[in-house]
Structure 1
Amino acid sequence: MSENGDMANTALAHALDAAAHGFRVIPLTRAKLPAVRSPHHHDPVPLPCRGACGRLGHGVHDASADPEAIRALFAAAPWATGYGIACGCAPHHLIGVDLDLKHEPRVDGAAALARLARRYAFAVPHTVTVLTPGGGRHLWLCGPPGLGVPNSAGRIAPGIDIRGTGGYLVGPGSATSRGRYRLAPGSPAWHPAPVPPELLSLVQPPVRTPPERATARPSAVGAPGRDAALVRFVRESQEGRRNDRLFWAACRAYEAGAGDELAPALIEAALHTGLTRREAEATVASAARSATGSTGRTLPPVA
């Protein structure tokens, strides 16, 4: 058997072990991306789909704890060398705390978490801890049922990324282009600790005050502050990132209660980048559904 075949079998074995403990998994490539190719990549106008078409290839929406479904996923991606664990799913309602470690510029997520723990008076739990090839670590925590935790990058502190609903963590035993993920010495296996209430409050998005409706909002393109920045962010999109940036901006607008007013300007900005009106309108509609209750993909904040 080839080296790739050996790694795929190893990844499958680890994934099945995780599933036996209630975690939902998907196969990953060496680049830590979902390994099953999208069934929509040849569509002339790809529309948002979370698996309703019945085919494999919808990223974390394919995640399953059923052994036969997992074997089918890996059979569809024999190049897989790792596996991802979906966050936010029952029974664990997993929340991942990704602690980066970088030297240039200096970023230490573990130290940042320790500072937050001191400031907000909570103890960092002894929980499942996965060491990353880059020197960082992932902490696995159980969230409360019925409460979706959003994905974020550096929002609560530099060097701390949060993986919540719609996100996934690279599972221990996965092989990537940078090395292998492994359980930290002394770490419990498959039994994440409950998230401290103080930390749960930090990873939730800030409560937004609904805007006054008594007076008309200025036109979004000419508005100062956030609205103008969101429109500009979409207008400056490059090919390959246009839908993603439009989706992200529309989500932020709807979360702030300004989605309906700002949507036309965001769509016009997307048309300026070369998207068709149908693509732009479908992306904004998907963002509206995601931001107003249904879970979906969450994109990283603007760099």
Structure 2
Amino acid sequence: MAFSDRQTATLALAHALSAAERGLPVIPLSPTKLPALRSPHHDDAPAPGAARCRGECGLLGHGVHDATTDPAGVRALFAAAPWATGYGIACGRPPHHLIGVDLDTKGETDAVAALRELALRHLFTLPPTVTVVTPSGGRHLWLTGPPDVVVPNSASRLAPGIDIRGTGGYLVGPGSVTAHGAYRLAEGSAGRDPAPCPRALLALIAPPQQARHRTAPNGPPPRGAGLIHFVLAAHEGQRNTRLFWAACRAYENGLGDTLAEQLIGAAVRTGLTEEEARATVASAARLTTRA
């Protein structure tokens, strides 16, 4: 079926409306699985220090930030993108606070087996839940998380081929058609609701709890808090650089041993592996403590 076929677009909208009716916020996707609407700020030169618009301007084209469960809003999104052949479901949003576990099966990667090994090692059982089969034969497992836990997106951090779709990410919805094929519900998934994420698995994918500092009401923030926030604000491509800079400043000011674990935890929360974060902090320590 050609991607320009009106029937494909009509089916994509129908599937998206059905998902929205179940409380799942949706956006239209192109055949490449990317958001179908181009950013209205694509040609704008970003102002120094300006925060990235997340839809506050009122225009469409802000990716997952456009996601909605309102039927009229869904229709408006698809009317603006008549070339859409699928839909994405925003993760981390109420009422489901969806978490996606993306299991890759390409080549020699067997993420399904890797997840089973993790379950045995950390003593959790994956409950029956909504499962979507991808065109390549992979699996997307849908789980729900608690409303007070922000699960970050990650790629192969748990094990090769296991990606996590959390807050700020999205899952390709079943019924979507892409350049590589269609996404479909696995047998037994129709009518099923996403199951709660096992606590042990949630502990593996959620950011580590930050150390709590007791301070007097309205008192000054604990020493080094600014360095932690500096690391937490890192975007992809600057995580290691920010972590290294913050760790150097910490060691130069005699706070290295105190802040090391918090800096590592903050870096892991942004998407670095713990091994990478520890290596970066160790490099900063060696550099700043040389005689």
Place the TM-score, normalised by the shorter chain, in its bin.
0.7 to 0.9
Determine which of 248, 253, 258 is the counterpart of 2:236. Answer: 248
Which stretches in structure 1 are left out of the alignment for 5+ residues? Answer: 218-229, 231-245, 263-290, 293-297
Say if 1:25 and 1:256 are closer, same or farther in 2 by CA, change over 3 A: farther
Determine which of 129, 150, 153 is the counterpart of 1:151. Answer: 153
Say if 1:147 and 1:260 are closer, same or farther in 2 by CA, change over 3 A: farther
- Corresponding residue of 2:17: 16
Identity %: 58
Taking the aligned partners of 2:151 and 2:190, their CA distance within structure 1 comes to 23
Taking the aligned partners of 2:134 and 2:194, their CA distance within structure 1 comes to 17
Say if 1:115 and 1:5 are closer, same or farther in 2 by CA, change over 3 A: same
Shift of 1:213: 6.1
Say if 1:97 and 1:209 are closer, same or farther in 2 by CA, change over 3 A: same
Shift of 1:119: 0.8
Say if 1:256 and 1:61 are closer, same or farther in 2 by CA, change over 3 A: farther
Taking the aligned partners of 1:108 and 1:189, their CA distance within structure 2 comes to 28
Taking the aligned partners of 1:22 and 1:165, their CA distance within structure 2 comes to 16
Determine which of 71, 81, 87 is the counterpart of 1:83. Answer: 87
- Corresponding residue of 1:96: 100
Say if 1:256 and 1:204 are closer, same or farther in 2 by CA, change over 3 A: farther
**Which letter does structure 1 place at the counterpart of 2:86?**
G
Taking the aligned partners of 2:151 and 2:245, their CA distance within structure 1 comes to 19
Taking the aligned partners of 1:255 and 1:18, their CA distance within structure 2 comes to 39
TM-score w.r.t. structure 2 length?
0.73
Shift of 1:42: 1.7
Measured on the aligned residues, the alpha-carbon RMSD in Å equals: 3.2
Taking the aligned partners of 2:181 and 2:70, their CA distance within structure 1 comes to 28
1:174-253 equivalences in 2 (<5 Å) = 174-189=176-191, 191-206=193-208, 247-250=235-238
SS at match of 2:236: helix
Kept in 2, the 8 Å contact 1:97–1:140? The answer is yes
Shift of 1:146: 1.5
Which stretches in structure 2 are left out of the alignment for 5+ residues? Answer: 213-221, 251-265, 277-291
Taking the aligned partners of 1:108 and 1:151, their CA distance within structure 2 comes to 20
- Corresponding residue of 1:61: 65
Say if 1:175 and 1:300 are closer, same or farther in 2 by CA, change over 3 A: farther
Kept in 2, the 8 Å contact 1:27–1:81? The answer is yes
**Residue correspondences, number:** 237
Taking the aligned partners of 1:151 and 1:251, their CA distance within structure 2 comes to 14
Taking the aligned partners of 1:141 and 1:152, their CA distance within structure 2 comes to 15
The structure 1 segments of at least 4 consecutive aligned residues displaced by more than 6 Å after TM superposition are 253-257, 298-302
Taking the aligned partners of 1:260 and 1:55, their CA distance within structure 2 comes to 42
Moved more, 173-182 or 184-193: 184-193
Say if 1:123 and 1:170 are closer, same or farther in 2 by CA, change over 3 A: same
Shift of 1:139: 0.2
Shift of 1:74: 0.4
SS at match of 1:64: coil
- Corresponding residue of 2:6: 5
Taking the aligned partners of 1:60 and 1:4, their CA distance within structure 2 comes to 25
**Which letter does structure 1 place at the counterpart of 2:8?**
M
